[in-house]
Amino acid sequence: MIPLMDEFEFQNPVPEPAPAKPRRSLTLLLRLWTLRRAIPNFDPSIFVLISLGLVWLLLWVAFDWWEALPDPQFLLAGVPLFPWYALAIVVLAALLRARSNPKPGFPAALLLSLGLVPLPLLLAVFAVPLLSLVWQCVVAVSVLIYSFFYLARGLRAFTGESQVRAAFAGIAFLMAFVWLTDSLDVIPDVWASPEVAEAADGGDTPADAESVLFEQSRRIDQALAAIRPDASPGAKAFFLGFAGVGEQKVFAQEIGLASRVLSERYGMESRALSLINDQRDLERAPLASVSGLKYALRGLAGRMNLDRDVLFLVISSHGARDPAIAVSNSDLPLNDMTDEDLADALSASGIKWRVIIISACYAGGFIDALKDPRTIVITAAAADRTSFGCSNDRDLTYFGEAFFRDALPEARSLRDAFDRAKSAIALRERRERVDASKPQAYFGAEMEAKLAAMKDHAQP
């Protein structure tokens, strides 16, 4: 019996872990990524696992930097969010090991989890910005199917047995993790454009609603104090921004970009004021509200020559068919702004020369209440249409990207910028197969002539 056993063991030796060399680890990953038969019974070293994790981290940071071009700013506040993803990788590895029978070694399960990291990263960087919603769904489903076969193939290689249940458990965890990450907005942006970095500066500050609202006039007065009356001849431009919804960062960021681009073009860096709802920071700027807008308009009017100076009012928020601009910030008791509210506030201020840009759904419904020969009104959508790009994972809306970021810096005039943005948005919406937003504009003849006569600091 002993010789027979020895012969059996010689013919069917128990496999031993393969040497955990970096080159063999890379070979294993390449075979797994291409769904080929992998190296059996592999046990990677700690060095290999740490090195792979650092490579993915550097890749994330590099993509983040590339998306923030041309002037990326480092955001230290994004760094503490990275452990959320490291924890997810470890938990996925533990889950795969727990649901497998027999169980793979934990280092092997961890290598398998790390091998999945590039998929959601590439999906977020390339598929989401470039593809329509339908194609995003197609790609997401394809990635999940691929991930299932990747996990099943890898677990079979590590254990020698089919591990379908463990692979399904891994896919269920990935779906739950993506949903929870999006819900909690756990996105570790460490590079951002200057306007995004400015919007992200600071943290949440709990405050009593009554005291916060009571001190808004003081905050507006402080901001207005930096705007000095200018007695020099010639028309001057003044900027007033209004980010209506604080629960989504995209609106605050869009007002930041609008302020910078318009200030550079019309030379009003020292004559700008923004009312910002951003629940991440209730202290950074005066809050956006209907009463705050009226107060800020009166304050600006006191620093303007009303017979010749021009107000640029930019509003970014959600919109409603009423028409109305949504106004909200944390749990503060704020009222939405109707077209009558806005028209009355402008009329009461006495400001005659006005350029009003509204980035919101159904914003075209504001045009009739605001138009006159000394007013230009530009809106992101028609009165019966929605605009797009208001999700919390975006830096700018579709309109903000097309008008403020891409068209305005190089355009010959506001009309030219609007026409360029309108064409770009229509092309994008056709490509994504969504209902056209149909941006609208009214160009008062006197206001358009006045802008043409003003010195344009960014005239190409």
Given a cut of 50, whether residue 131 has pLDDT beyond it is yes
Q: Is cis: bond before 286, omega within 30 of 0?
A: no
Contacts of 91 (CB under 8 A, 6+ apart): 173
pLDDT(10) > 50: no
pTM comes to 0.58
3-state secondary structure of 246: coil
Task: Return the minimum-mean-pLDDT range out of 89-93, 119-123, 401-405.
Answer: 119-123
pLDDT at 290 over 90: yes
Report the alpha-carbon distance of residue 101 to residue 191 in Å, rounded.
Answer: 43
Return the ∠ at Cα 280 (arms to 126 and 402), rounded to 5°: 40
Q: Residue 10 contacts by C-beta under 8 Å, 6 or more apart in sequence?
A: none
Question: Is the pLDDT reported for residue 370 higher than 50?
Answer: yes
Residue 331 burial class via C-beta count within 10 angstroms: exposed 0-12, middle 13-18, buried 19 and up: exposed
- Residue ranges and CATH numbers for the domains of the chain are 15-184 (no CATH), 208-453 (3.40.50.1460)
Beta strands in 317-386 (DSSP E): 319-320, 324-325, 337-338, 353-359, 375-379
For residue 179, pLDDT beyond 80: yes
- Give every CB contact of residue 308 below 8 A, 6+ residues apart in sequence: 234, 235, 236, 353
Measured between alpha carbons, how far is 202 from 3 in angstroms, rounded to an integer? 76
Q: Are strands 440-443 and 337-338 parallel, antiparallel or unpaired?
A: unpaired
**Mean pLDDT on 40-63:** 82
- C-alpha 64: how far from chain center: 12
